[in-house]
Copies of this chain bind each other. A is one copy, B any other.
Amino acid sequence: VLLVDAERLRADFDELGSIGALAGGGVSRPTFGAAHMAAREWFLARARAAGLDTRVDAAGNHSALLVAADPGARTLLLGSHLDTVPVAGRYDGALGVVAALEVLRAVKDAGLELPFALEAIDFTDEDGTLVGLLGSWALTGALTPQILSAPRGGRAELVAGLERAGLSEGGLLGARRDPDGLAGYLELHIEQGPVLERDGIDIGVVTAIVGSRSFRIAFTGAADHAGTTPMDARRDALLGAARFVAAVNEIVVRDFPDCVATVGDVSVEPGAFNVVPGRATVALEFRSGGGRLDALEETLLASAAREAGALRLTADVIRVGRWEPARLDDEVRAAVWAAVAELGLSAIDMPSGAGHDAQALAAVTPSGMVFVPSVGGVSHDPSERTTWQDCVNGANVLLGAALRLAGAA
């Protein structure tokens, strides 16, 4: 069985982790900042040092290429991203990119002739300093002028960033690649959650990337004097919001075991010790990898109305966000399982609760993801960590699955 060169992978991983390194551990490589640009240059240099072609497209996606003998061969993409949130860990995105590069080197060194070209790709701005999934949306044709007009990192920051990177909005909007030329997409990533480590599992075979919906719900009652208003005369908006927060947890745990729901914020008006809250607005988000988003939405909004009604409050619902779930490809998943089995590793099928470039790719080409355990489930923090053995396991599964998809194992 062909394996990656773990020492070479380790050297790359450590060198990459020194770019944008923070004094207290971890890295910070926000999109188009100096550290991010340096990491991308380093990636191209490493590819060229391995005798691979390199390519940068109009969306700024950076690639290393192992071409096939047949110039008309389709391309199997292996990738992730080198940008990070500010003050991040060394593994999120970076592991997938260096592992993809290592897969190309391992195949090249083994002299294997594959029916596909292999491309190790670093997508632009996955983690959303500017837009989020910017490079993968551009490559798959999902990027629109509307998205660029109101980016989550701010319009001025996007314009300045593109300028620094020598990119243009026209280029981004024209960077779509013909899906007929693609054989599929495979991404190795850290889990960013506690499940694999807690259950002692080596590999997560990702079944879907969850969809999510988010709402602001404003509970409105009456602001009254906290000393002179008896308990039975109150219309306490925060009490309604609090009962709703408790109910969300009960409902999801009891009736929607495959989903998660979070109330991540509450703001109270007027918000003083001595005033009964007149309004309490909660930020609700829930996610599901399957088809339960509609049912969960209906149940939770009904609960909000019920809790409000019981206290003579109103509950006004504002829809904030909606992200459809992306199912990953069954054949790609089977290839990952086969590689896991051959390596003697343990694995489980699991959804991804976080967003990834694979959800953009899944819309145009058979796509899959491989998860490795996150220590303590931590991510987006300098303390983010995956054991080195798990990193190597993930790279070998990526290699094995790619070879299976190419019919070479």
Contacts and interface: CB of A to CB of B under 8 A. Distances in A.
Contact of A233 (B226, B236, B246, B377): B377
Contacts of A229: 193-194, 260, 353, 377
Interface stretch (A47-55, A164-172, A263-271, A330-338): A263-271
A96 interface: no
A236 B249 contact: yes
A287 interface: yes
A23 interface: no
A277 B284 CA distance: 12
A271 B264 contact: yes
B273 A225 contact: no
A225 to B, nearest CB: 6
Contact of A210 (B227, B263, B273, B284): B227
Interface in A84-98: none
B264 A276 contact: yes
A273 B266 contact: no
A274 interface: yes
A246 B252 contact: no
A311 to B, nearest CB: 9
Interface of A is mostly: mixed
Number of copies of chain A assembled together? 2
Contacts of A266: 238, 266, 268, 280
Contacts of A226: 260, 262, 264, 285, 287, 353
Nearest to A209: B227
A288 to B, nearest CB: 11
B194 A233 contact: yes
B320 A273 contact: yes
A277 B261 CA distance: 12
A354 B283 contact: no
A146 interface: no
A229 to B, nearest CB: 6
Contact of A238 (B214, B260, B263, B354): B263
B260 A264 contact: no
A239 B246 contact: yes
A62 B14 CA distance: 78
A177 interface: no
Contact of A272 (B242, B264, B276, B284): B264
B243 A246 contact: yes
A344 interface: no
Interface in A52-76: none
A375 to B, nearest CB: 13
Interface of A: 191-195, 198, 210, 212, 214, 224-233, 236, 238-239, 241-246, 249, 252-253, 260-266, 268, 271-277, 280, 283-285, 287, 320-321, 352-355, 377, 379-380
8 contacts: A227-B352, A227-B355, A228-B353, A239-B246, A242-B246, A264-B271, A271-B283, A273-B321
User: Considering the complex of A and B, which 4 residue pairs feature the smallest CB-CB distances, nearest first?
Assistant: A193-B228, A227-B353, A242-B245, A228-B353
